[in-house]
Structures are given as structure tokens and as C-alpha cells.
Amino acid sequence: MTADVSELYALRLNLGKPGDHVILPDVISKEPLAPVVRMRDDDWMLIVKWTLYAMINAEELGVTSKNIDEALNRRKPDVMRLVGTEGAYGEELGLTKDWAVRIIRNVGNYGEVYERNVGAQSRLKIPRGLQPALERRRDSIRAADQVTGR
């Protein structure tokens, strides 16, 4: 049987003995799952798009729902822009300066949301696809932080 990875994991849940069935690790396509908005609602589309970007950036920067308050005091420019202590990105979207902080505090970064809803903490248990690239990015950010003392 072949289908989108998320569909395969969902179908497996409905089988009599889901644990007796294996989903092969080979993925032959990259079809990202992303939010969908109603056509011609450009303002809402921008908010949804930038919310997704903020959640992805938070994960790359190591900012989570558990350490978001600590992140508010960091002096690293990328983190300062994310949490609204530098720039006016939220206001340009018609939101408050701390809009991303509220999202991350309440729902988490992209990885936290993924794991809770479709990943290891969910019934589906879908493994992350391009995770190694994200891990390398996070490791390089941490190494740069250690060098600069940020």
C-alpha cells in the first residue's frame, strides 16, 4: 500500500492490530503539511504564515514553551526579533510586539506541536522527516552562541 506518510499512519491506527504492521522508512516524496486558509483572506493568511515561521524559527533557536521567559532576556538578535524585544514585526501584521511569545508559551514551537499532535507523543507516532538538517542547524547555532557568549 502506498500513500502520503500521514495517511499511512492514520490508516494503520484503524487496523485490528496496528503494531503488527510496519510503515517502511523510505519516503519517495516531500509533501509538507501546512495550514490552509480561506481564499482572499490575505490578512489572515499573513498571520498564519508568519505564525508558522515563528514556530519554526523558535525550534531552530532552541526556544520552547518551557524556556520562553528566559528567551525574553537573551541578547541574540534572532531571538530578540522572535520575542519582540527588537523590531516591530508583530505590529506590522496588526498584532502586538509579543505575539510570537504568546504563541510559543501557549502551544510551543514547531517541534513541540509536531510531537504532541502527530509525532512521538501522539497516537500516530509519525517520525520527523528532515530532522537531521534541523539538528545540524541547531548545533551550529549553539556553537556560535558559545563562541559569542550570547
Please give the average pLDDT of every successive group of 10 residues along the chain, which has 150 residues. Answer: 88 94 83 83 94 94 97 95 93 94 97 94 87 60 64
90-101 pLDDT tens trace: 998 999 999 999
What ranges in 33-92 are assigned the alpha helix state H? 42-61, 68-71, 77-83, 89-92
Dist CA 147 CA 75 (whole Å):
14
Closest CA to 100 of 47, 43, 37: 47
2-24 pLDDT tens trace: 888 889 999 999 999 999 999 98
- Rounded to two decimals, the pTM is 0.80
Predicted pLDDT at 1? 84
Which set of grid coordinates corresponds to residue 65?
A: 514553551
